[in-house]
Amino acid sequence: MWILSSPRWRRRLFPPLVLVAIGVPLVFLGIHLSSPGDPGNANGPEVPGYANPKSVRFTPANQRAVHKVLREFIQTAVDRQDVGRSWDIAAPSMRAGFTHKQWNRGELPVVPYPAANRGLGRWSFVQYTYAKTVGLEVYLFPKPGSGWSAMTADVELVKGHDGNWRVDYWMPRRFHGPPSVAATAKAKVAPKKHVRPVKAAPQHKAAGKRRAAPPDLVATPKPSRVWWIVPIALLALIVVAPVGIGIGVWYRNRRAARQYVRT
């Protein structure tokens, strides 16, 4: 092509071609990564055939039934008192992958916790209530002297075809406050001894003695400002480089035009 055979046009087309070569891949990656995805994918904006469950009222009858099941589940599965009794009040999804013998031996997907009888089976917050599903936030207190702190757990209960509620999900969420210590352990703590105050040294004697500051009071050295040069230089290069290339091309073209006029 006659354009590429001319040195002047090659110099003129070089900066735009460089910008296009760099900008097109960046634009393509930006559009590709910002795409919402396939609607059939679970990560997409919507899943075909899925409808949000409708919230219903948590009736007093359901509350009493849930409280009874939840209290028994905490005593048996969580506190490990007669674990075998929790098999019937656990949902099939929780029992999946475990045999009845393994469950009776304490091999179940529930983290053990020494729960006290204080407020057992009560919940502190109702997260959601659907026709056959209830999500609760349960607050448990530890037994005295167990060394555990109070705990909050997320619980989900489902209603089966027989109309009975069963625990489908149990997961500790966070612990609150200090651990529970036995009374004997508290008594073993030695009382604090009375320390006599030390008199301050006379001002004329302590004037020439300067004590070093404690380690926690020593000022932390501030980072050098030299490190700011690197990002500033990179940002400046992004702006200055295209401007410099444009000025260089303009100067070469102007010089070539003058030479052409002289000849």
Give tens-digit pLDDT for 68-108: 999 999 999 999 999 999 999 999 999 999 999 999 999 99
CA terminus-to-terminus distance, the chain? 26
| CB count in 10 Å sphere of residue 135 | 17
Please check the confidence at residue 201 and state whether its pLDDT lies above 90. Answer: no
What's the pTM value of the predicted model, to 2 decimals?
0.53
State the average pLDDT over residues 52-57: 88
Residue 86 burial (C-beta neighbours within 10 Å; 0-12, 13-18, 19+):
buried
Contacts of 112 (CB under 8 A, 6+ apart): 78, 79, 80, 106
Longest dimension (CA), the chain: 108
Q: Which helix (H) or strand (E) holds 112?
A: none
Residue 41 is given by DSSP the state S
| CB count in 10 Å sphere of residue 94 | 23
Quickly state the pLDDT bin for 5 (edges 50, 70, 90).
low
Please check the confidence at residue 215 and state whether its pLDDT lies above 50. Answer: no
Residue, of 247 and 206, whose pLDDT is higher:
247
Residue 201 is given by DSSP the state P
Digit-coded pLDDT (tens) for 144-175: 988 899 999 999 999 999 999 999 999 999 99
Beta bridge partners of 167: 90, 157
Quickly state the pLDDT bin for 177 (edges 50, 70, 90).
confident
Nearest to 166 by CA among 175, 176, 155: 155
Residues 213-230 as b or e (16 or more Cβ within 10 Å = b): eeeeeeeeeeeeeeeeee
In angstroms, how far is CA 194 from the centroid of its own chain? 47
Please check the confidence at residue 192 and state whether its pLDDT lies above 60. Answer: no
Name the percent of the chain lying above pLDDT 90.
40
Quickly state the pLDDT bin for 44 (edges 50, 70, 90).
low
- Given this model, what pLDDT does residue 242 score? 77
Please check the confidence at residue 214 and state whether its pLDDT lies above 70. Answer: no
